[in-house]
Structure 1
Amino acid sequence: MEFLNRLFSNKPSPKDVAKDRLKLILINDRGTLSPDILDKIKSEILEVLSRYIEIEPSDVDIAVTSTEKLEGGAPSLVANIPIKNVRKR
């Protein structure tokens, strides 16, 4: 019965959990952006975007992640920027 429970369980195996943790460590090692540089990038992106759209800086999330589609899971800069309104020029 235990075999069937494990077979149909949605719970990830310890192997999968360890694999995901290792991926996160590798992402952090490969993505050599310091928090200071990431903050500078974020502020410059917000400065440019605020010329054209209305945004709330506290709602912006910018992070370095890994994409599975790229060979080797290369680091990527991912931004989630909710748009409140488009500025009319």
Structure 2
Amino acid sequence: MDFINKLFKEDSSKDRAVERLRLVLVHDRASVSPGLMESLKEDLIDVISKYMDIDEQTMEVNLASSERSASLVANIPVKRIRRQ
């Protein structure tokens, strides 16, 4: 069902532009393609959604890099933890 929602989700053009700019900036800073970052974000959503309800709209995933290391930084708002 989430897949169908993603297909028909209506984002404003502003939101899409902001997301594209964010991906370009991440690419420039960490030498990671925007496509790879988007795939990583989608994979994180798939895995985390098995255990928690998350707010995908405000989720942020970035790759921070310095001279010696790179860090994956994810801000994922949790709505509810699923009890099993």
Alignment counterpart, residue 82 of structure 1, candidates 54, 77, 80: 77
- Equivalent pairs counted in the alignment come to 58
Please, what TM-score do these two structures have when normalized by structure 1? 0.58
2:34: which partner in 1?
35
1:21: which partner in 2?
none
> Per chain length, whose mean CA-contact separation is higher, i.e. which structure has more relative contact order (CA < 8 Å, sep 6+)?
1
Larger Rg: 1
- Unaligned 5+ runs, structure 1: 1-23
RMSD between aligned residues? 1.9
Please, what TM-score do these two structures have when normalized by structure 2? 0.61
Percent identical: 31
